[in-house]
Structure 1
């Protein structure tokens, strides 16, 4: 069954009203990093997540997906501290299960997330869009942590999934991997692995589980197959 949802920030904005006027009943939400009521709790702890879900429900939305993540760069790079980061993900998944939030959207882009070289490119009808021009990155400096290969990223992803997927199965929370954005590798010396249909097949084969899924981002999958 296809459910139409909109990504909505975890505090009410005018977009919430527009979404309801458009007939949308499901929210893809974020974690409440800026909630002043957290009072020492992390955004992925039970009470902050409960309050976030209640806010969406008060606006008439069912919180169907969390598309936000605890810090994960140590885990992606296989550095000391990765087990502590993985523990925060496990806490998030357990609390999502307790609150019947069924899907967690995550990604495996290390050092930087989605990347654009321009945030005001002129497009159809005079609209402004974001864009990425790989030629402008040809001489960009490397990241502070230095290069990392694609195979290292695969090894670290497998380690992560073997720790996390049993918990996801126990709590019936689906993991949905978002593609690299843009789906190019390397960028600034950093490998990027979620950038092709073949690599997404490798993902689901890496640690087979009904909870090991994908985020079908139409834009990035179109770029992969263009």
Structure 2
């Protein structure tokens, strides 16, 4: 399989946005859909619109379940959120979409303030001494083994449905790829982290989302 250029689009991309993706030279596009666009009809409509523009909608995620603290920290409603994830996989498959991204980032992507580059464009910055001073995101510090146990629980539940539906799970590394933020260990921050995740899953249904920036930083 040869590498192909992909760009992000909005979940309600119009013809101009899709034309721009084509003009950039992209062959594929991906997006994150809101909760009210997780149904089969909405996903199929989006995929068909992308198809008609001469592009491939290769990956669709949902932030509410793809970065879910209830799943990742074993909080109340964990099982309900996992069931919602399973149904999303079924809906993706029915709509002809076969990859979804998720990240083990219960508090999202962490950054310091954005700053202008030498040519004026804004760029993300990460100042670890500043991030390390921030309070716990969920009231206490979690151990790494707690988080791995929660990951294993999720894999036991979700892998059979991923295999059944033919929808692969693309695991994005933590951003930034450091060991702990806000009192919660960052699960996927290195090559060894991925190895452990793949061993737990024991299935090709789990794959890596190869974010070159995070990979370069984490190693």
TM-score of the alignment, normalized to the shorter chain, above 0.5: yes
Query: Aligned equivalents of 2:182 and 2:101: distance in 1?
Result: 25
Q: 1:118 Cα shift?
A: 1.4
Matched residue SS, 1:78: coil
Whether the aligned pair in 2 keeps the contact of 1:185 and 1:191 (CA below 8 Å) is yes
Question: Aligned in 2, Cα 1:115/1:125: closer, same or farther, shift over 3 Å?
Answer: same
Whether the aligned pair in 1 keeps the contact of 2:41 and 2:95 (CA below 8 Å) is no
Show the counterpart of 1:156.
150
Point out the more displaced range, 53-62 or 126-135: 53-62
Show the counterpart of 1:191.
185
Whether the aligned pair in 2 keeps the contact of 1:10 and 1:56 (CA below 8 Å) is no
Point out the more displaced range, 15-24 or 215-224: 15-24
Whether the aligned pair in 1 keeps the contact of 2:47 and 2:96 (CA below 8 Å) is no
Once superposed, what is the RMSD of the aligned Cα atoms? 1.7
Show the counterpart of 2:116.
122
The answer to whether structure 1 residue 177 and structure 2 residue 171 are counterparts is yes
Show the counterpart of 2:75.
79
Structure-to-structure mapping, 1:12-161, within 5 angstroms: 12=13, 15-33=17-35, 42-71=36-65, 72-110=68-106, 112-119=107-114, 121-161=115-155
Q: 1:10 Cα shift?
A: 1.2
Q: What TM-score, normalized to structure 2?
A: 0.91
Question: Aligned in 2, Cα 1:205/1:124: closer, same or farther, shift over 3 Å?
Answer: farther
Matched residue SS, 1:125: coil
Q: What TM-score, normalized to structure 1?
A: 0.88
Whether the aligned pair in 1 keeps the contact of 2:34 and 2:62 (CA below 8 Å) is no
Q: 1:129 Cα shift?
A: 0.6
Q: Which ranges in structure 2 are unaligned for 5 or more consecutive residues?
A: none
Query: Aligned equivalents of 2:174 and 2:113: distance in 1?
Result: 17
Query: Aligned equivalents of 1:123 and 1:197: distance in 2?
Result: 30
Question: Aligned in 2, Cα 1:171/1:183: closer, same or farther, shift over 3 Å?
Answer: same
Q: 1:25 Cα shift?
A: 2.5
Show the counterpart of 2:218.
224
Whether the aligned pair in 2 keeps the contact of 1:11 and 1:55 (CA below 8 Å) is no
Query: Aligned equivalents of 1:80 and 1:6: distance in 2?
Result: 35
Q: Which ranges in structure 1 are unaligned for 5 or more consecutive residues?
A: 34-41
Query: What number of residue pairs does the alignment pair up?
Result: 215
Moved over 4 A (4+): none
